[in-house]
């Protein structure tokens, strides 16, 4: 062997469909945790904009431009998605590679919010949780990051090791909602 | 008896079903109860204690008598209310709590012995002889008690849980609920309208009142059409709101497919509805009147009789009589006459009741007895002229109405007594944000319900910040509610209050005589209100009887209170998803698949699955594999996935100061590129966790935790930082999942790595406890020279995507060197041989001092837990402290969980000297080994103690040895 | 039960871990003496009424928060981040 | 009146007209030798043993509401003596022995049913701990049997033995453990105390504790001042408030514990089964309801009611372990207020005030402790020295660290026990 073959988090698990719903794995992308040091949020935002063209988002929001996005990811934490971090960021924040830490899936289909309503204790109604909005909340028993990516589309991430449970739980919910017709 | 041209069942859709094996037919739109009544079935169940024959009492979820079992096998469903169950083709119902049959029930003998079975009789007997309680009395009582039976088989249906959010939750779809929902919906609020029934409309479906000049149910249908067309409205039928909880959270049970045999949809869904405001429009429940033998099949609430006639087109009898203490009973007589049913008489306990054309109204009279054991045949009427018998096969009784206020009591609020309705009504504010309207607020006329519903919508809209929309109040009856209290009819014999639990007026009176005068005492002593209806049919009357017998007014005697759930909810619904694997997430390492391919049995460890051992050809048990794997690590090289250990990336100018504060030992002095073992205490001074911590850069550390405590440690670090030391400029995040990490352990580990890594290791750069970046086949990796086996060992970490490939590569290379994978069993033996502790030893009750690491608590600095660890009781040498044990007597076995004693002492608590935490057979040393906690242990090395395990009957003489049994100098891992 | 996370907004109780009275914020000095330390670790005002206690938004943003709350009615009166609450 | 089958027969034949109050409702006297604050199970038992074993009959039990209205009437009725730690070990052993003679002592059928308690374990590590605990029980002179998987299957075949998450490795079986009818315990002790001359005074809330020169002299109540030579506080759930009347701050945090009962079902669960991994325990009442519970709601509360997350967690644990109970419907849920102590074990001790005694901190193990607690507290009050079975329940153990009894190993955070 001359090369270590990479596997995705949901290798062999996806995609699945039930009724109008499709669950598929998000394409592999660099994921970087950015945790600004004391009082460095603005500087980090400026550095991000200069290097990647996106600013730091507010709480429960994401910013994106040209395939690069930044998700609010919790208290004092952001997730840079889609580009390796520019070296300038480390001056203002702890920069930690998390590209392999998360299983990321995409749930699509009319009524997808009803599928997530089986698992997430948060209000996902379209009026209050719009495209680009993001939040941290437990999906079933798993700490998750959920982002609305479209009218009927969500991007969901949980710890990589829990990929099988994530797929199982979402599939069960999809089937339950689909069976009601 | 089915009535022509009445009701809302679909006469073009006949449905066949069976009850106790007998075939019957009904129509779509029937409940099992309405269909049974239509087929003339009156005896449907037996009571709990006296096994009295019982019929249908009500037309709703409060039914105490008509409980049946549906289905069979794993789908057997006991205690289903026939009054709520929708009929479907092929439905098969069985009666309950009878033997050998519903008709001939042996335990009906209990009824004859009733004088001896009064309230609380069992507290006074069955005491002698003592041993008979468990052997004779209790089994007999248990067999006689209970209602339906569980199948005993694993649940085979699917259930789900879901969350919903809204501005306004409206509970109940009668006139009040419909107006409230419409008012709020038109103004643009997000509305959920929840209705227990399978059809919306509430009481309007059961009455003949007109609303806005048309039949009430048609008015409701029109309004429902409008609601159904609105995006901001969710109509939920078959959904009972079961509980009111804090901050506007409501529990609700949706019976999704109980009416659809073999549906693919879940059977039930348990909802958690979060509502900014709620309107309770749950209506009211009619109360029975207590009189002698008022539990005969055929005696029903008047509103139920009316509902069966109007909604289902069924008359429960051929000659119906009515007994009432209020005007409402007249409606039943009126509607029955209109439907062509013979009304034998209307008995009004009041002298001033109205007249009703075509009906023989007997005023100032009472029903004082009923005859017809398995079905009503006659009643006895008492008037000022004396008693007379009346032939009747159905008695519709009305003792007045109780507002369905149950939800309002769920947060400890107490309702208030209202003389005008002779009932309890909610008080505003019992549930923050919830307003009760209509009948459940004690306002019984249709007009009042419509008005209060509309007004409550306005109030809610104002609170929510919406501008109310136009809403016209429809015209409807606004009759006053006139009632004169009548709780129980005087006379001999037993008059039932709580039908299912067989609690009679006599029982309540006897309880009072025995000084169970508090309403709570009375309920607990008589079991009144403890049946499946939770007192919905009996609480107020029982309270009234208690008030009467104790000479107090009703409000002074007590109040009614109710706890969740409003109706019983299946465990499967509220615990949906947990059956099988769902209790917690499963966590899989990247090497899982490869380990399974090698036949490794997996065991769960802190949600992770880890290989127990890797069986080789010819091995017939785990011990052979384990011994081989241990030998392999000691002699060549072994590979073990250690990714499950928690890994926390810690960075910032104050990272080192932070670690100095959370660890007992010092990390600010650690050099970059080096790793140090650290010990963490809880603030109470006991050990929380241990692990290594690597300094990757001047301000960059990587902390390792045990697998089990990873979450707890993360939470602790956040606590220490945010709550105790927020001034520190440090940030951290878990990187457990980012890295797949493998131990490469054994004398040949270096050889393996030199061949595998892109650049061979330069020895002097990689002393024991060194760490740093390396590359593996072009992949950036991290290498740590740490050891949990006592051998020269490394841990190699790569991004998780490469974990599977690297594990396979490592196994191939180890195999070529005579090594291979090792599992948890071998890992455990390796660490016991070395005296390394795990959570078997740091089990939350041990200190650093106990585990021999007292010196790791730095004297030069403060740290979490330091002060409390210095308490007298925690530094007493006579504490149980860590030692090794080696069997030296005839019995060569040691076992975890055994206790330690002096050799000549009796093995009793007073002599207890300690206990064994971890044991193994050491293939390296050729005997069994144990880690144990022994009083003053470290001072007793070389002495002998007795190990006793009572439960597995093992006693062994042991020598106390140093916990590090193998290579105590540590040369093997350092060199 | 729902709690107002100062960062995420109102969330279900199931997202939070409970630790106990906010007294935990006031860790004594190492040399404060046995009494002060024993009190800090063990004794509680434990009011039947308004209290301030510490919760961790474990399932959400990971903030430790101080919630002002009534232990009798479960009414929630407010919440603030623990890092600024001492 | 003595209760017996014969008495029931006689009363039944004569119209049940001869029954009399189980206890009197006397007005408070101006002074008593001993006042017991709290008419719960522990308080009533204390009064009973003061009278029955120490000859102290000039005793009043003061109850704010109605007797037995607190935790003795809102628990899951489990009685056992299966502790591991010294202190708890001898105390619960003592208590269980009192249970075994309780019906005879009280002439009241409390339906103590020694149907056996099984604690399941699911890993080697848990088996080791179960064995250690079982050995502690036998060292104490109590009974314990370590069942293997097949042994458990023979007794409770309906568990999900194939569960991949929590494979049943075996169980710690305690044959003498079981259940009792909770209310009857309170009433039986009340009747027994009353028969011996104790005044049980309901609707009498203590609003002050009178102390002169470091010695207790009486109490202030909603029914007036009452003098007393000695006062015992035994009000678990409200210990902090009552102790505060004497200027004391306690190592107690009050928490809500919910419990559940289903509709009546034909017999299906014959023992008490506990599933430690899911914090779940269940038995079936003689009436047929499945009685079960789980962990605390986890937040400080005096509301005596809980919330859905914990409810659902308990149901999940039930469905995980015994999916055959899925169709049982939960009829009622309730909550009790628990005195949670920093090591999960109770306190029976003197206070810094002469003549004032404290019995509290029962966490959620108070029901099975009722006879033992009453017996040992009465001993302490009457003799001014601890009962031999309760010497370790000292108030100062948290300060000194001597003799902590942290069965769970979770440390000083009150709600984790």
What stretch of H or E contains C36?
A: helix C34-42
Q: Where in chain B is the domain with CATH 3.50.50.60?
A: 159-284+403-464, 288-399
Residue B561, pLDDT score:
85
Record: contact B718-C64, CB cut-off 8 A:
yes
Q: Are D194 and D311 within one domain? A: no
Minimum-distance CB partner of B124 among D109, D284, D332: D109
Mutation site, A77, A79, A121, A133, interface C, largest C CB count within 10 A: A121
Q: Which of A135, A138, A143 sits opposite C8 (nearest CB)?
A: A135
B867, C37: Cβ pair inside 8 Å? yes
Which residue, C63, C53, C44, C46, is CA-closest to C20?
C53
Contact D350, B181 (CB under 8 A): no
CATH number of the domain to which D47 belongs:
3.50.50.60
Establish if D166 belongs to a structural domain.
yes
Residues of chain A found within 8 Å of residue B738, distances taken between Cβ atoms: 96-101
**CB-CB under 8 Å, B839 with D12:** no
Task: Give B581-596 pLDDT, tens digit per residue.
Answer: 999 999 999 999 999 9
Asked whether residue A112 falls in the same domain as residue A141, the answer is yes
pLDDT in tens, B299-333: 999 999 999 999 999 999 999 999 999 999 999 99
> d(Cα B104, Cα B82) in Å, to the nearest integer?
21
- Give C64→chain B minimum CA distance, Å: 7
Do D44 and D58 reside in the same domain of the chain? yes
- The residue length of chain D stands at 417
When CB atoms are compared, the residue of D300, D307, D342 closest to C71 is: D300
Both tokens of D407, joined, read 């069965």
User: Are residues B614 and B638 in contact, defined by beta-carbon separation less than 8 angstroms?
Assistant: no
B438: alpha, beta or left? (left if phi > 0; alpha if psi -120 to 50): left
For chain C, domains (ranges, CATH) are 2-84 (3.30.2270.10)
| CATH assignment of the domain containing D296 | 3.30.9.10
Alpha-carbon Rg of chain A, whole angstroms?
17
Check which CATH number belongs to the domain holding A124 and give it: 3.30.1360.120
ipTM (interface predicted TM): 0.98
| A108 shares a domain with A79 | no
Subunits with 3+ C-beta pairs closer than 8 A to C? A, B, D
Flag if D253 and C44 touch (Cβ within 8 Å): yes
- Does residue D260 share a domain with residue D273? yes
The whole-number mean pLDDT for each consecutive block of 10 residues of chain A, a chain of 181 residues, reads 90 97 98 98 98 98 96 98 98 98 98 98 96 98 98 98 98 97 76
Please check whether residue B524 touches D, CB under 8 A: yes
In a domain, residue A2? The reply is no
* Same domain, yes or no: D172 and D270: yes
The confidence band for B559, taking pLDDT boundaries of 50, 70 and 90, is confident
Nearest-CA distance B845 → chain C (Å): 16
Residue D324 lies in a domain: yes
Q: Which of B163, B582, B777 sits opposite A2 (nearest CB)?
A: B777
Of the three residues D309, D340, D371, the one that is the final residue of a domain is D340
Tell me the residue range of the domain where A113 lies: 16-28+100-180
D173, D277: one domain: yes
**What number of other Cβ atoms are within 10 A of residue D85's Cβ?**
18
What's the pLDDT band for C36 if we cut at 50, 70, 90? very high
Quick one: D47 and D150 in the same domain?
no
The DSSP line for D350-386 is E-SSBTEEEEE--TT-HHHHHHHHHHHHHHHHHHSS-
**In this structure, are A116 and A161 located in the same domain?**
yes
Q: Would you identify the CATH topology of the domain B615-643+738-831?
A: Gyrase A; domain 2 (3.30.1360)
Q: D413 and C72: CB-CB below 8 Å?
A: no
Q: Where in chain B is the domain with CATH 3.30.70.1400?
A: 647-734
Q: What is the pLDDT of residue B262?
A: 86
Question: Strand (E) positions, B699-770?
Answer: 700-705, 731-734, 739-745
Stretch 359-388 of chain D: residues touching chain B, C-beta under 8 Å: none
Q: Where are the alpha helices (DSSP H) in D238-365?
A: 239-244, 308-321
Chain A hits for C61, CB-CB cut-off 8 Å, are: 59, 74-75, 136
D39: in domain: yes
D348 lies in some domain: yes
C39 Cα distance to chain centroid: 17
Report the residue of B46, B683, B909, B935 to disrupt the D interface, i.e. the one with the largest count of D CBs within 10 Å: B909
Nearest to B807 by CA among B607, B611, B604: B611
Q: Are B583 and D320 in contact (CB under 8 A)?
A: yes
Please state, in angstroms and rounded to a whole number, the distance separating the CA atoms of residues C74 and C52: 12
Same domain? For A68 and A135 the reply is no
Question: Per the domain annotation, does A11 fall within a domain?
Answer: no
Closest chain D C-alpha to C53 CA, distance in angstroms: 8
User: Can you tell me which residue has the tokens 């039908």?
Assistant: B499
Residue limits of CATH 3.30.1360.120 in chain B = 615-643+738-831
Confidence of residue B866 (pLDDT cuts 50, 70, 90): very high
Do D229 and D262 have their domain in common?
A: no
CB-based burial of residue B8 (10 Å sphere; 0-12 exposed, 13-18 middle, 19+ buried)? middle
* B560, pLDDT greater than 90: no
CATH of domain B876-975: 2.40.30.110
Give just the sign of the alpha carbon dihedral B318, B319, B325, B328. Answer: positive
**Yes or no, beta carbons of A160 and B653 under 8 Å apart:** no
Chains with 3+ CB–CB pairs under 8 A to B are A, C, D
CA separation for the pair D208, B916 (Å, rounded): 50
Residues 17-56 of C with CB under 8 A from A: none
Percentage of residues of chain B with pLDDT beyond 70: 100
* Cα B749 from Cα B762, distance rounded (Å): 14
Residue B839 near chain D (CB below 8 Å): yes
Query: How far apart (Å, rounded) are the C-alpha atoms in residues B283 and B443?
Result: 9
Collect all residues of chain A within an 8 Å Cβ-Cβ radius of residue B255.
none
Q: Answer whether residue D109 is part of any domain.
A: no
- Distance (Å, rounded) from C-alpha B118 to C-alpha B657? 73
Same domain, D261 and D138: yes
CATH class of B288-399: alpha beta
**Mean pLDDT across chain B:** 97
* Out of C2, C17, C75, closest to residue B715 by CB: C17
Please enumerate, as own/partner, the contacts of A171-174 that have beta carbons within 8 Å and a separation of 24 or more. Answer: A171/A16, A171/A18, A171/A23, A172/A118, A172/B160, A172/B577, A173/A115, A173/A116, A173/A118, A173/A119, A173/B160, A174/A16, A174/A17, A174/A18, A174/A19, A174/A21, A174/A23, A174/A107, A174/A109, A174/A115
Q: Is A158 in the same domain as A106?
A: yes
pLDDT tens digits for B892-948?
A: 999 999 999 999 999 999 999 999 999 999 999 999 999 999 999 999 999 999 999
Pair of tokens at residue D278: 């899911």
Report phi then psi at D191, rounded to 5: -65, -40
Distance from C-alpha of D50 to C-alpha of D46, rounded to nearest angstrom = 6
Q: Where in chain B is the domain with CATH 1.10.10?
A: 485-566
Judgement on whether residues D223 and D363 belong to the same structural domain of the protein: yes
Of all residues in chain D, the percent with pLDDT exceeding 70 is 100
Contact A14, B808 (CB under 8 A): no
> Is a pLDDT exceeding 90 seen at residue B624?
yes
Whether the CB of D309 is below 8 Å from some CB of chain B: the reply is no
| Nearest CB partner across the interface for B160, out of A77, A100, A176 | A176
Is residue D92 in some structural domain? no
Give the pair of three-digit tokens for residue B626: 């384990």
Task: Classify domain B485-566 by CATH number.
Answer: 1.10.10
Are A104 and A149 contained in the same domain?
A: yes
D32 class by beta-carbon count within 10 Å (0-12 exposed, 13-18 middle, 19+ buried): buried
According to CATH, the topology of domain B10-116 is Ubiquitin-like (UB roll) (3.10.20)
- D contacts of B871 (beta carbons < 8 Å): 399-402
Chains that touch A (3 or more CB pairs under 8 A): B, C
pLDDT band at B451; cut points 50, 70, 90: very high
CATH for A58: 3.30.70
Residues A82 and A114 reside in one and the same domain: no
Peptide bond into B565 cis (omega under 30): yes
Same domain for D153 and D300, yes or no, is yes
Choose which CATH entry (3.40.50.2000, 3.50.50.60, 3.40.50.720, 3.40.50.300) describes domain B159-284+403-464: 3.50.50.60
**Same-domain pairing of A176 and A104:** yes
pLDDT at position A1 is: 54
Residues B790-816 pLDDT 10s: 999 999 999 999 999 999 999 999 999
Give yes or no: residues A66 and A112 share one domain.
no
Total domains in chain A come to 2
Looking at chain B, which residue has its C-alpha nearest residue D3? B124
Distance to chain B for D405, nearest Cα, Å: 9
CATH of domain B647-734: 3.30.70.1400
Range of the domain at D218: 5-10+21-78+182-251+343-416
User: Is residue A133 in some structural domain?
Assistant: yes
Check pLDDT > 90 for residue B975. Answer: no
Q: Is B608 on the interface with A (CB under 8 A)?
A: yes
Kindly report, residue by residue over D271-318, the tens digit of the pLDDT: 999 998 889 999 999 999 999 999 999 999 999 999 999 999 999 999
Among residues C40, C24, C56, C44, which one has the least CA distance to residue D253?
A: C44
State the Cα–Cα distance between residues B252 and B239, nearest whole angstrom. 6
Residues B407-426: pLDDT tens digits?
999 999 999 999 999 999 99
Domain count, chain D: 2
Verify that D26 and D146 share a domain, yes or no: no
Q: Nearest chain B Cα to D131, which residue? A: B897
pLDDT band at D162; cut points 50, 70, 90: confident
Alpha helices in B291-354 (DSSP H): 302-310, 328-338
Q: Show residues of chain D in contact with C69, CB under 8 Å.
A: 299
Show which of A97, A128, A152 is a domain's final residue.
A97
């Amino acid at each position: 062997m001359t090369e270590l073959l990479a596997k995705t988090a949901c290798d062999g698990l996806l995609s699945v469909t039930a009724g109008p719903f499709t669950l598929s794995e998000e394409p592999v992308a660099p994921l970087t945790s950015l945790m600004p040091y004391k009082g460095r949020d603005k500087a980090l935002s400026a550095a991000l904009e200069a290097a990647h063209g996106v600013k730091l988002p507010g709480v429960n929001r994401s910013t994106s431009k040209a395939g690069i996005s930044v998700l609010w990811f919790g208290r004092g934490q952001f997730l840079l998605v889609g580009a390796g971090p520019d070296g300038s960021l480390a001056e203002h924040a702890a920069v930690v590679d998390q590209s392999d830490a998360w299983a990321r899936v995409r749930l699509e289909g009319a009524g997808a919010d009803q599928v997530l309503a089986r698992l997430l204790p948060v209000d996902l109604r379209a009026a209050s949780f719009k495209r680009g909005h993001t939040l941290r909340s437990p999906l079933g028993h798993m700490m998750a990051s959920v982002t609305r990516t479209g009218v009927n589309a969500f991007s969901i991430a949980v710890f990589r090791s829990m990929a099988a449970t994530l797929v199982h739980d979402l599939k069960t919910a999809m089937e339950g909602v689909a069976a009601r017709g | 008896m089915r009535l022509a041209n009445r009701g809302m069942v679909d006469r073009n859709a006949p449905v066949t079903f069976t009850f106790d094996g007998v075939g019957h037919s009904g129509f779509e739109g029937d409940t099992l109860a309405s269909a049974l009544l239509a087929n003339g079935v009156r005896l449907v169940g037996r009571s709990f204690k006296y096994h009295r024959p019982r019929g249908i009492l009500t037309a709703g979820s409060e039914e105490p008598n008509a409980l049946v079992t549906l289905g069979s096998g794993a789908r057997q469903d006991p205690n289903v209310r026939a009054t709520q169950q929708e009929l479907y083709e092929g439905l098969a119902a069985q009666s309950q709590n009878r033997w050998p049959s519903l008709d001939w029930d042996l335990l009906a003998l209990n009824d004859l012995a009733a004088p001896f079975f009064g309230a609380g009789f069992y507290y006074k007997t069955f005491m002698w002889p003592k041993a008979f309680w468990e052997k004779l009395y209790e089994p007999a009582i248990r067999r006689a008690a209970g209602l339906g039976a569980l199948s005993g088989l694993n649940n085979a249906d699917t259930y789900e849980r879901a969350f919903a959010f809204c501005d306004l939750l409206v509970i109940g779809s009668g006139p009040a609920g419909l107006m409230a929902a419409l008012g709020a919906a038109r103004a643009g609020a997000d509305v959920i309208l929840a209705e227990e029934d399978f059809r919306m409309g509430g009481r309007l479906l059961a009455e003949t009142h007109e609303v806005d000049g048309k039949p009430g149910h048609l008015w409701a249908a029109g309004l429902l059409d409008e609601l159904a067309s609105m995006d901001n409205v969710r109509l939920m039928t078959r959904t009972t709101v079961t509980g009111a909880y804090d901050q506007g959270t409501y529990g609700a049970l949706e019976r999704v497919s109980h009416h659809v045999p073999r549906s693919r949809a879940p059977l039930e869904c348990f909802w958690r509805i979060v509502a900014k405001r709620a309107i309770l429009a749950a209506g009211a429940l009619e109360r029975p009147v207590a009189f002698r033998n008022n539990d005969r099949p055929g005696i029903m609430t008047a509103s139920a009789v009316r509902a069966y006639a109007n909604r289902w087109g069924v008359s429960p009898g051929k000659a119906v009589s009515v007994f009432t203490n209020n005007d409402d009973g007249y409606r039943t007589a009126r509607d029955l006459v209109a439907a062509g049913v013979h009304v034998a008489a209307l008995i009004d306990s009041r002298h001033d009741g109205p007249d009703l054309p075509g009906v023989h109204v007997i005023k100032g009279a009472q029903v004082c007895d009923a005859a017809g054991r398995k079905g009503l045949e006659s009643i006895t009427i008492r008037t000022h002229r004396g008693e007379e018998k009346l032939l009747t096969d159905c008695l519709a009784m009305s003792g007045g109405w109780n507002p369905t206020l149950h939800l309002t009591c769920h947060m400890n609020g107490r309702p208030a007594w209202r003389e005008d309705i002779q009932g309890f009504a909610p008080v505003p504010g019992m549930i923050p944000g919830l307003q009760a309207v209509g009948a459940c607020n004690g306002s019984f006329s249709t007009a009042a319900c419509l008005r209060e519903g509309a007004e409550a919508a306005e109030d809610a809209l104002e609170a929510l910040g919406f501008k109310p929309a136009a809403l016209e109040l429809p015209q409807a009856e606004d009759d006053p509610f006139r009632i004169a209290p009548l709780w129980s009819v005087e006379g001999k014999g037993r008059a039932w209050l709580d039908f299912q639990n067989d609690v009679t007026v006599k029982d309540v009176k006897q309880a009072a005589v025995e000084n169970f005068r508090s309403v709570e005492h009375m309920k607990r002593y008589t079991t009144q209100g403890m049946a499946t209806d939770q007192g919905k049919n009996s609480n107020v009357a029982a309270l009234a009887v208690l008030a009467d017998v104790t000479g107090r007014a009703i409000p002074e005697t007590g109040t009614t209170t109710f706890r969740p759930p409003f109706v019983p909810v299946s465990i499967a619904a509220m615990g949906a998803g947990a059956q099988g694997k769902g209790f917690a997430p499963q966590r899989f390492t990247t090497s899982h698949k490869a380990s399974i391919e090698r036949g490794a049995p997996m065991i769960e460890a802190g949600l992770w699955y880890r290989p127990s051992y890797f069986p080789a050809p010819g091995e017939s048990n785990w011990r052979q594999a384990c011994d081989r794997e241990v030998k392999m690590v000691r002699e060549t090289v072994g590979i073990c996935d250690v990714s499950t250990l928690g890994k926390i990336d810690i960075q910032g100018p104050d990272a080192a100061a932070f670690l100095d504060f959370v660890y007992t030992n010092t990390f600010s002095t650690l050099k970059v590129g080096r790793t140090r073992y650290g010990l963490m205490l809880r603030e109470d001074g006991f050990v929380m966790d241990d692990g290594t911590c690597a300094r990757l850069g001047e301000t960059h550390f990587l902390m390792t935790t045990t697998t089990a405590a990873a979450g707890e440690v993360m939470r602790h670090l956040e606590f220490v930082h945010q709550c105790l030391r927020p001034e520190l400029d440090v940030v951290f995040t878990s990187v457990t999942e980012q890295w797949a990490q493998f131990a490469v352990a054994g004398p040949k580990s270096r050889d393996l790595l030199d061949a595998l890594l892109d650049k061979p290791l330069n020895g002097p750069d990689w002393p024991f406890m060194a760490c740093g970046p390396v590359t593996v086949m072009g992949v950036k990796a991290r290498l740590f020279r740490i050891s949990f086996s006592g051998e020269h060992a490394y841990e190699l970490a790569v991004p998780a995507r490469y974990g599977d490939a690297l594990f396979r590569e490592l196994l191939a290379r180890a195999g070529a060197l005579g090594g291979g994978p090792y599992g948890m069993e071998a890992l455990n033996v390796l660490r016991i041989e070395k005296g390394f502790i795990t959570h078997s030893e740091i089990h939350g009750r041990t200190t650093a001092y106990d585990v021999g690491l007292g010196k790791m608590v730095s004297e030069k600095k403060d740290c979490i837990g330091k002060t409390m660890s210095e308490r007298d009781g925690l530094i007493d040498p006579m504490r149980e402290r860590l030692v090794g044990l080696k069997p030296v007597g005839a019995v060569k076995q040691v076992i975890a969980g055994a206790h330690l004693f002096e050799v000549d002492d009796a093995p009793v608590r007073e002599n207890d000297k300690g206990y064994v935490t971890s044991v193994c057979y050491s293939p390296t040393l050729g005997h069994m080994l144990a880690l144990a906690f022994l009083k003053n242990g470290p001072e007793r090395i070389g002495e002998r103690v007795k190990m006793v395990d009572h439960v597995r009957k093992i006693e062994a003489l042991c020598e106390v040895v140093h916990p590090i049994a193998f290579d105590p100098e540590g040369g093997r891992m350092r060199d | 039960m729902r709690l107002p996370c100062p960062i995420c907004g109102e969330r279900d109780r199931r997202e939070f871990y409970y630790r106990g009275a906010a007294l935990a914020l006031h860790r004594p000095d190492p040399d404060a003496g046995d009494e002060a330390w024993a009190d800090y670790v063990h004794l509680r005002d434990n009011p039947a009424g308004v209290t301030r206690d510490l919760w961790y938004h474990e399932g959400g943003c990971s903030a430790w928060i101080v919630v002002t709350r009534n232990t009798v009615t479960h009414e929630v009166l407010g919440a603030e981040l623990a890092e600024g609450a001492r | 009146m003595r209760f017996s089958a014969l008495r029931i027969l006689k009363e039944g034949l004569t119209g049940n007209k001869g029954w009399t109050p189980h206890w009197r409702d006397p007005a408070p006297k101006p002074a008593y030798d001993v006042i017991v604050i709290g008419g719960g199970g522990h308080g009533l038992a204390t009064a009973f043993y003061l009278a029955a074993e120490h000859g102290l009959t000039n005793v009043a039990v003061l109850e704010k509401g109605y007797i037995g209205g607190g935790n003795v009437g809102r628990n899951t009725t489990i009685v056992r003596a299966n502790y591991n730690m010294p202190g708890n070990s001898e105390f619960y052993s003592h208590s269980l022995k009192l249970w075994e003679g309780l019906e005879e002592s009280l002439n009241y059928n409390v339906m103590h049913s020694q149907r056996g308690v099984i604690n399941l374990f699911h890993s080697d590590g848990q088996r080791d701990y179960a064995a250690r605990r079982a050995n502690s029980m036998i060292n104490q002179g109590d009974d314990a049997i370590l069942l293997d998987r097949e042994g458990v299957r023979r007794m409770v075949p309906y568990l999900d033995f194939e569960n991949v998450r929590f494979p049943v490795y075996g169980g710690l079986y305690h044959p003498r453990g079981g259940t009792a009818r909770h209310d009857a315990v309170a009433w039986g002790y009340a009747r027994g105390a009353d028969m011996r001359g104790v005044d049980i005074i309901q609707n009498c809330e203590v609003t002050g504790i009178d102390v002169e020169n470091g010695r207790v002299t009486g109490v202030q109540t909603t029914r007036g001042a009452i003098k007393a030579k000695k006062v015992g506080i035994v009000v678990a759930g409200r210990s902090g408030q009552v102790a505060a009347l004497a200027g004391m701050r306690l190592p107690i945090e009050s928490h809500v514990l919910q419990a559940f009962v289903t509709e009546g079902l034909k017999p299906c669960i014959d023992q008490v089964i506990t599933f430690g991994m899911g914090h779940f325990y269940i038995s079936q009442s003689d009436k047929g309801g499945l009685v079960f519970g789980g962990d605390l709601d986890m937040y400080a509360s005096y509301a005596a009611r809980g919330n859905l997350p914990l409810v659902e967690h308990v149901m999940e644990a039930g469905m995980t372990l015994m999916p055959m109970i899925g169709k049982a419907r939960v009829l009622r849920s309730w909550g009790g207020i628990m005195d949670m102590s920093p090591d999960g074990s109770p306190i029976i001790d003197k206070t810094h005030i002469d003549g004032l005694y404290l019995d509290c901190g029962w966490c959620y193990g108070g029901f099975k402790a009722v006879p033992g607690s009453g017996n040992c507290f009465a001993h302490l009050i009457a003799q001014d020295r601890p009962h031999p079975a309760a010497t370790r329940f000292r108030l100062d153990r948290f300060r000194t660290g001597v003799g902590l009894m942290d069965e769970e190993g979770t440390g000083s955070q009150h709600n984790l026990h």
